[in-house]
Amino acid sequence: MAALDGKNVLVITTNYGVEQDEIIVPTEELRKRGASVTIAAKETDTVQTLVGDKDPGKSLDPDTTLANVQAGDFDALVVPGGTINADTIRQETAAVDLVQAFVAAICHGPWTLVEAGVLTGRTITSYPSLQTDIRNAGAEWVDQEVQVDETGSTIITSRNPGDLPAFVDAIQAALAPVSV
């Protein structure tokens, strides 16, 4: 039995501009660990990823749309970054409404948390250029590879694609804590 068997994870994205590794690595790694991962995009069209916000990356097909998912059907929500993706998705009401209980956001993904108004009193990390937005939203910003804040609901954040191993490990640890 895999560590995340029976866990349902939702990954939300726009159809253009998501950072390739920030959507593909968590999706693949969480699936390898047993989670059922659903990718929801704004539209049913193919998702075009980018590498470094400029070079075309891999394309992938979403499983559904943002409008067709309910937060209560999932154990965790992953918000990948990519400047274009993060800036666009935070303007989507359906995406912002999904930010409820357990959220994991990387790089520019925390912009959606700012928009959802869920950061007051929290400690998170993100891509460094977001730190003023994070602080203005009432959170403390820290510079570390992964930050887990369990003030109320769980929020896991990371800074960039280099932090992906720690980010995925933190998601697994929160979804399937090891009991002693």
CATH number for the domain harbouring residue 154? 3.40.50.880
Assess if residue 96 is contained within a domain: yes
Q: Taking the mean position of all CA atoms in its chain, how far away is CA 133?
A: 17
Assess if residue 156 is contained within a domain: yes
Answer whether residue 180 shows pLDDT above 70: no
20 noted as active-site residue:
no
Assess if residue 3 is contained within a domain: no
Residue 77's pLDDT band, with cuts at 50, 70 and 90, is very high
CB contact at 8 A, 77 and 71: yes
Q: What is the pLDDT of residue 178?
A: 65
Mean pLDDT of all residues belonging to the chain: 95
The one catalytic residue in 7, 33, 90, 108 is 108
Assess if residue 61 is contained within a domain: yes
Prediction pTM value:
0.93
Assess if residue 48 is contained within a domain: yes
Assess if residue 74 is contained within a domain: yes
Assess if residue 94 is contained within a domain: yes
Q: What is the pLDDT of residue 132?
A: 98
Q: What is the pLDDT of residue 179?
A: 53
User: 137-145 long-range contacts, Cβ below 8 Å, gap at least 24?
Assistant: 137/113
Assess if residue 1 is contained within a domain: no
**How many structural domains comprise the chain?**
1
**Mean pLDDT of the 37-58 span:** 97
The one catalytic residue in 9, 12, 107, 116 is 107
